[in-house]
Every structure is written in C-alpha cells, then in structure tokens.
C-alpha cells in the first residue's frame, strides 16, 4: 500500500497497476481496503479512467459508511463530487458535495484534518463559480482559505493558492478589480516554493503560474489596456511547445478574440474565435464520449443488479419447489401411515365385534 501511495503523483500508471493487483486480495481489513479504494479512486481520476474512478469511489464510500469512518466518507464524497464537476454533471456534483458538507456539519474534524474540510469548501465554491453564482462562491472560498491556512503540508499550500486564484476570478466577474488584483497576487507561486514542492510535479505550478498571467490579462482588458493584455496572452501561447497549457488554452483564445474585437481587428478576432470554438468542440467531444462510457457502465451495473435479482428469484423458486416436494413427500408418507393405522383399527374393530 505504501508503494501505491508514494507513487500516486510521481508515477500514477505504476501506482494504478500495483493497486489493481492488491484489490484482488480478499483478506484485506476494512481500513486497508478503504485506503486502497481511495487510492484507486484518485489514480483512476488522474489517468482519466472516470468509469473506474466512480466505481471504486462508490464502493469505498459504502464501506466507509458501514465502518463509520467519517474522514474517509468526506474524502470519497469530495472526490466523487469533483469528478462529476469536472465532467460538468452539475446535479451529481452538487449531490456529493452537499452530502459531504452535511457530514462535516455533523462531525467536527480535529485541527490536524481541517484541510479536508478546506477541500470540500473549496469544491463547493467552485461549484457555485461554475454555475455563475459568484457571490455564494466567494463565501465558500473564504471558508476554504480559513481551513487551509493553518496547514503546512505542500498540498494544502497548493490548494490555498487555488482558492486565492478562483476567488480572484470571481471578483473579476463581479468587476471588483482592486480586490481581484490583491488575491491574484496571493495566488502567485514564488520561485522558492518550487524547492519545497513536496513531490508535487512542476507542471501543476506552471499551470497555476499561467492562470495568474491569464487573470492579469483579463484585468488589463477590463481596464482597456488591451495591447498589454494581448502581450501577456500571446506570451503564454509562445510557451505552448515547452509547457502544458491545456488548462488555460481555451480561455486564452476566447480572451484574445474579445480583445481584438474591441480593437476592431476583425481578422484576428475571428481567427482566435475559430480556435476557441475548435477547442470547445474537442473538449465537448471528449466529454460526451466520457459521459457515454459512464452511461454504458451504469447500464451494465443496472443489468448486473437485475441479473442478480433474477438469480435470487430463481434460487428461491428452486428452494421453494424443493421444500414443497419434500413437504409433499412428507404428507404422502404421513397419509400412508394414517391410512395404514386406520386399516389396522378397522381390523381390530372388526375382530372385537366378532
């Protein structure tokens, strides 16, 4: 298990293969199986095996609930909510995140585990941000920041940066630019922080850095400093072959299209608008494929449950038939004994009469 957990971030594919082998072991204790299922949930999510992630997550959640393991329940609920949110299945995301928040309210976590509460509050904030309710999103981001602040582990430090960044994005949406600049600055990664990354791949720091630049470009555009905004956006695109910009590329194209439209440069505006729509079509195609796979998996699971139910009905039917057969045989034998006894009594009665 330790090998799996150590290689979760550094080598997810290797961690996945190890975890699947351990999963077949039926002698695992409940606590160890919960840890394993949570690792499988995270690895499957990271490697985009979403159907498997949801299957492992649901199994782990059931086991955590049966074991009254509150912390694990919250972890499973939060991660499942995050997966559905990334797939933009908002009703499912909201269901799991609301359930996680309810568990949090009923069970106070120790100070050492407040970062887990921070994760749920952050995801709730993102859920409201996705549905364009930035006022509610800001409330949850503030609560998440308060929960993350005392924690010193690298992941919590990364998460607080994400909370600052997305709070800044919401403030940009609300046109509160001065506040947005403040939180955007708080989200920026310092060079010294790369050295104490605690095993977090550099790619994640680079994506956060690009998101900071994108936010700065949006603020500049709202201040009508369009040329400077474009310089920043194009500088991010210049790094396309050297760094992973998949998370920001679509937004960059959209912002460039809007900026050039305001500058009345219709050719460039249409050029970047076309790239934006192409990227959106690719993203939607991937998402539809993933959702279709999930629907197929759900149907298989449903069919399996129906088949199991049918097998139970057949099993109990056979048991019932066997029981009735045995009972009938018992009745036949009993009747024969009664008939024999009656015959004997009749004879006795006949002899005594004579």
Residue 63, domain extent: 1-107
Q: Total domain count for the chain?
A: 1
* pLDDT of amino acid 345: 38
Say how far apart CA 12 and CA 23 lie, in whole Å.
Answer: 16
Residue 288, in any domain of the structure: no
* pLDDT of amino acid 51: 86
20: closest CA among 45, 43, 51, 48?
43
Say how far apart CA 96 and CA 84 lie, in whole Å.
Answer: 9
| Residue whose entry in the numeric block shows the structure tokens 């309710």 | 133
Distances in whole angstroms, Cα of residue 102 to Cα of each of 34, 36, 58, 96 = 21, 25, 18, 10
pTM value?
Answer: 0.78
Say how far apart CA 243 and CA 304 lie, in whole Å.
Answer: 44
Say how far apart CA 340 and CA 334 lie, in whole Å.
Answer: 10
> Which CATH number does the domain housing residue 60 bear?
1.25.40.10
Cβ–Cβ under 8 Å, residues 34 and 64: yes
Say how far apart CA 344 and CA 339 lie, in whole Å.
Answer: 9
Residue 319, in any domain of the structure: no
Give 314's contacts (C-beta < 8 A, 6+ positions apart): none
Please give the full DSSP string across 263-329, using - where no structure is assigned: TT-HHHHHHHHHHHHHHHHHHHHHHHHHHHHHHHHHHHHHHHHHHHHHHHHHHHHHHHHHHHHHHHH
Residue 224, in any domain of the structure: no
Which sign does the torsion angle of CA 233, 234, 239, 244 carry?
Answer: positive
Say how far apart CA 138 and CA 69 lie, in whole Å.
Answer: 30
Which sign does the torsion angle of CA 245, 248, 252, 254 carry?
Answer: positive
213-271 tens-digit pLDDT? 999 999 999 999 999 999 999 999 988 665 556 678 899 999 999 999 999 999 999 99
- Neighbouring CB atoms inside 10 A of 248's CB total 20
Q: What are phi and psi of 326, to 5 degrees?
A: -60, -45
* pLDDT of amino acid 246: 64
Residue 102, in any domain of the structure: yes
- Residues lower than pLDDT 70 in the chain: 1-10, 191-199, 240-246, 297-354
170: closest CA among 180, 155, 181, 162?
180
Residue 201, in any domain of the structure: no
| Residue whose entry in the numeric block shows the structure tokens 């904030």 | 125
Residue 318, in any domain of the structure: no
* pLDDT of amino acid 25: 76
Residue 295, in any domain of the structure: no
* pLDDT of amino acid 1: 64
Residue 14, in any domain of the structure: yes
Say how far apart CA 153 and CA 112 lie, in whole Å.
Answer: 11
């Amino acid at each position: 298990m330790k090998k799996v957990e150590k290689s979760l971030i550094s080598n997810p594919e290797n961690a996945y293969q190890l975890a699947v082998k351990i999963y077949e072991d039926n002698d695992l204790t409940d606590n160890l199986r919960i840890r394993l299922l949570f690792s499988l949930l995270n690895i499957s999510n990271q490697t985009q095996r979403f159907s498997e992630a949801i299957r492992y997550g649901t199994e782990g959640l059931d086991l955590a609930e049966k074991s009254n393991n509150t912390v694990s329940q919250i972890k499973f609920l939060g991660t499942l909510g995050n997966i559905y949110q990334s797939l933009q299945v908002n009703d499912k995301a909201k269901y799991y995140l609301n359930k996680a928040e309810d568990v949090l309210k009923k069970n106070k976590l120790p100070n050492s585990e407040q970062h887990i509460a921070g994760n749920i509050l952050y995801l709730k904030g993102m859920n409201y941000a996705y549905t364009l309710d930035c006022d509610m999103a800001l409330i949850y981001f503030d609560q998440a920041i308060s929960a993350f602040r005392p924690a010193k582990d690298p992941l919590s430090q990364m998460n607080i940066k994400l909370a600052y960044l997305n709070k800044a994005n919401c403030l940009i949406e609300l046109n509160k630019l001065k506040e947005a600049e403040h939180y955007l600055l708080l989200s920026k990664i310092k060079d010294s922080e790369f050295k104490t990354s605690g095993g977090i791949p550099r790619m994640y720091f680079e994506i956060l850095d690009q998101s900071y630049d994108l936010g700065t470009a949006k603020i500049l555009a709202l201040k009508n400093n369009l040329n400077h905004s474009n310089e920043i956006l194009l500088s991010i695109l210049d790094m396309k072959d050297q760094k992973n910009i998949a998370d920001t590329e679509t937004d960059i194209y959209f912002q460039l299209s809007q900026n050039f439209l305001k500058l009345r440069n219709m050719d460039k505006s249409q050029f970047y608008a076309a790239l934006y729509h192409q990227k959106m079509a690719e993203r939607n195609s991937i998402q539809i494929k993933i959702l279709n796979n999930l629907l197929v998996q759900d149907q298989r699971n449903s069919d399996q449950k129906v088949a199991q139910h049918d097998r139970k009905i057949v099993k109990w039917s056979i048991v019932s038939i066997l029981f009735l057969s045995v009972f009938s045989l018992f009745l036949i034998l009993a009747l024969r004994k009664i008939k024999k006894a009656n015959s004997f009594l009749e004879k006795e009665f006949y002899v005594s009469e004579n």
